[in-house]
Every structure is written in C-alpha cells, then in structure tokens.
Amino acid sequence: MTLNNLKKLFEYKEIAILGFGREGMSTYRLIRRFFPYKSIAVFDCDEKIKLIPFLEADLNCTVFTGSSYLNSLNKYDLIIKSPGISYKELSDIEFKGTISSQTDIFLSCFSSQVIGITGTKGKSTTSSLLLHILKQTGYNVVFVGNIGVPPFNEVDNIKDDTLIVYEISSHQLESVSNSPHISVLLNIFQEHLDHYRNYGEYQKAKLNIVKYQSPNDYFIYNADNEIIMKHIGDYDVRSAFLPFSFINEHALGCFSDGKVLKIKLHNKQQYHYNLNFERKLLGQHNLMNIAVVIMICKIIGVDDSGIFKAIASFNGLPHRLEYLGCFNNKHFYNDSIATISEAAIEAIRTIKDIDTLLTGGFDRGIDYHEYAFFLSHTSIRNIVLVGDAGKRINDILMALNHDKVCFLYDNFDDAARKAIELTKEASICLMSPAAASYGMFKNFEERGRRFLEIIKQST
C-alpha cells in the first residue's frame, strides 16, 4: 500500500479531526502533506488549541473549542477521533458521516504487515521485547502505537518487507473495522472504567483486535484469562487461533509447565525450550510475555539463537518492576505502571520479601477486595496508602484480621517519605500503586520519576 493509496482515503471527504493531542496533530500533518489547501476542521475542548501558530496561520482550517466545541461535528463525512475522546461524550450526537481513527485508517492500509499487541497489562513490555528481537536479528521493523508514536508518523519508513509492531490500547481499538495480521490479546482486567459506560464496553474494545481477521491471520490469546475465554466463541473468525497457557496444554499454541516451554503451530512445526535461558525480565507474568514473543518470532521465522541472545540483552522498560538502587542500605523498586490490582499482586509475588509497600492513587472504581485480601496474607510489614484508592483499600483492610501497620495519606510526597522512613535497613520498599496517577501526576512515568526524586532527597 503506497502513500498514494493512503491519500485516496482522504481525497473526497469533508474531514474533522476530533482531539488535537499527539495523534490529532499527526493526522493534521499527514492531511496537509497530501492536501495543503483542503478545508478541514479541528475539534478540541481546550481553548489554547486556537493559539497554536500553524493552526492560526492555516486559513483553510476551522477550529472549534470550548464547552460547546462538539456542536458542529455532525456536518462532516469523516471524523478522525483521537483515542483520548470517550464515546460517552458523543452519545447525544447524530452523525452524518463515519467516526474513524488513525488506527483504523492505518490498519486498512497496512494490516497485512502489522503485529498488533493489546492487553490490560504487559503490552508495552511485550511489544518492546519483540521490537528488540526483530531489530537485533536484522528485520526491517517500525514501532508505533500506544507507547508514543502515532502510526501516521512512520508511513515514510514502511516498505513492502517492513514488519510493524503496533502496541494498541483499548481506546485505539474502539472504532476499528480492520484487525492486524498477527493479533495478540495478553489479558483483560478491570481498567479505564472512567472512559467507558461499563466494563463490557472495555472488553468489547479489546476483542476488536481479532474481530476482522481473515483465514491467513493469527490470533494469539491468553487461555488462562477468564474474561477472554468467556468471549472467545462470540466471534465467527477463521484466523489461526493460538492460545497460550501456563495451566492447560492445548492442541495448538503455547504451553509451559514451569520447566519447559512448548510451541505448536498450524503447520505442524513444534518447538521445545527449557526455561533456564538468561533473562532480565523478572516474574511469572514476564515469562508469559516472553513466551508470547517467542511464538510470534517462530511464526515469522526468526532463528532460535537470535531470539534468546536478544532476550538476554533486553533490560526491560522504566517504571515496570524497575530496581532504583540501594540508598542508605535500603532497596527500592518502582512499579508505577501497575495501575490495577492484578499488576500490583504480580509485582509483590515477583519481588518477594517486601518490608514496605507504597500503594494507592486515583480511584476509578476498580474492585479492591481481592487485592486487600491478598495483602493481608503477605509478609509485608508496612503498607502506606495514598489517595482515594488508598482510602478504599484501607477500609477493606481494616475489615480484615491482619497484622499490617497501615498509614494513609492524601499527598503522594508525604506517603513516599513515610514509606522510605519505615523501611528497615537491608530491606525492600516497593511502590506498586494498583491505581492510576491522575489528579496527582500527568502520568505514571511522572509518578515514578517523583518517587526516585524523593528517595534521593530523603536518604
């Protein structure tokens, strides 16, 4: 698919760009590259959008902002929605045209080259590891999606032999009518409940990654995840289904019993690997991510020596069970990416021997009963809780019979300092929030960086 084919998708459309963050700007630049003088519209609630110099100078671009910015949206043929705009905001609008997205337009052009990876947790690590292996073994590959690169930014770098690793969020999957050639669904847990009307809408968005596949495509999915298995039969898709499991061995797919990893593909190829290979990614959940990546690599045809050499050299990503170092003979781990309780539980199981846990944050209505029950049965001595999520976790903990010392704070900095103070020498302090960072920080990365700053100031 050439740039000219992509251009044709915009040619005779009255186009509106809904949301003008990173993706919205990327969409604007591509359209302006094709059509310097075409009339287009930009819709964003932020009044400051009007002050962006290149928009002010564009006489063929109409900008709608403010509290009533959506009023004229129904006049356009093609509305390219940014992931951050919730469909809840659009429920009262009767649209003349089609709501699409950069993800859907990109997939309509390049899906045969795309390896799409989604899941509530693990998609960034899995995508980054796959990218690392493909680069190390000489493949022509680009990386786009939720990790920060809008796909339109990479169109000039895509050739016929280019592999595209696409980390896809539920927000990006909402309005798609195309699916990747290799689709991966790592897991589904309660997340982003503030963005959707209900949990079912979130699940449906995730499952769009397989909905439009063809018989020549592959779907790799977590057969140990209850929600995925509940919906797996809802779609009449004829692609090659490849489950992965650490519980039950299936006729095809990937299975591990904790000692050996077995992969069985549709072309009757089978691969067996001992699990004693060198890796820096800690934990059972990361072993599952690695297993998925190995299966993708075998579908593509990557040789074993290249796969395992690259796995050994992959350092992981910041804010994901990241060891920050030893300060005043105390060891600190940053797991700021853990915005749901399942992720925090995996972190605690992986690190082990934790003296102090810093947890909590913005409350999105996630059920914390299982998390609190889990905490009450760990060897963690101190639990420092922060924010509205921390208050709710604390309330559940107080109803349980446990021997933990709990401290509750509204302010993250105060909570972090207390956690540092409480941690015994030669012991571990882990920050794994099980909650979002909103209201206190711009994102989980900023929260992780602030934790390290406070550690350095306090030790």
pLDDT tens digits for range 366-394: 999 999 999 999 999 999 999 999 999 99
CATH topology of domain 322-458: Protein-Tyrosine Phosphatase; Chain A (3.90.190)
Residue 195 confidence class, pLDDT cut points 50, 70, 90: confident
Task: For residue range 205-228, list pLDDT tens digits in order.
Answer: 999 999 999 999 999 999 999 999
- The whole-number pLDDT of residue 265 equals 97
Residue 1 has pLDDT above 60, yes or no: no
CA dist., res. 156 & res. 40, Å (int): 23
* CA-closest candidate to residue 404, choices 420, 419, 424, 382: 382
Contact criterion met (CB below 8 Å) for 355 and 381 = yes
Contact criterion met (CB below 8 Å) for 306 and 402 = no
Structure tokens at 70: 């959506």
Percent of the chain with pLDDT over 90: 90
Pairing mode, strands 270-274 and 260-264: antiparallel
Contacts of 227 (CB under 8 A, 6+ apart): 188, 189, 203
Tally of CB atoms within 10 A around 272: 9
The domains of the chain are located at 3-96, 105-313, 322-458
CA dist., res. 115 & res. 166, Å (int): 6
- The whole-number pLDDT of residue 403 equals 82
Over residues 149-167, the mean pLDDT reads: 96
Residue 2 confidence class, pLDDT cut points 50, 70, 90: low
Residue 364 has pLDDT above 80, yes or no: yes
Over residues 425-444, the mean pLDDT reads: 96
Task: For residue range 419-429, list pLDDT tens digits in order.
Answer: 999 999 999 99
Task: For residue range 67-88, list pLDDT tens digits in order.
Answer: 999 999 999 999 999 999 999 8
Residue 330 has pLDDT above 80, yes or no: yes
CA dist., res. 96 & res. 68, Å (int): 18
Longest dimension (CA), the chain: 68
- The whole-number pLDDT of residue 285 equals 95
Superfamily of domain covering 3-96: NAD(P)-binding Rossmann-like Domain (3.40.50.720)
Structure tokens at 218: 């592959």
- The whole-number pLDDT of residue 304 equals 98
To the question of domain 105-313 being in CATH 3.40.1190.10, the answer is yes
- The whole-number pLDDT of residue 92 equals 84
Distances in Å between the Cα of 233 and the Cα atoms of 183, 257, 278 are 16, 26, 37
Strand order through the sheet with 260-264: 141-145, 163-167, 114-118, 182-185, 218-222, 240-245, 253-256, 260-264, 270-274
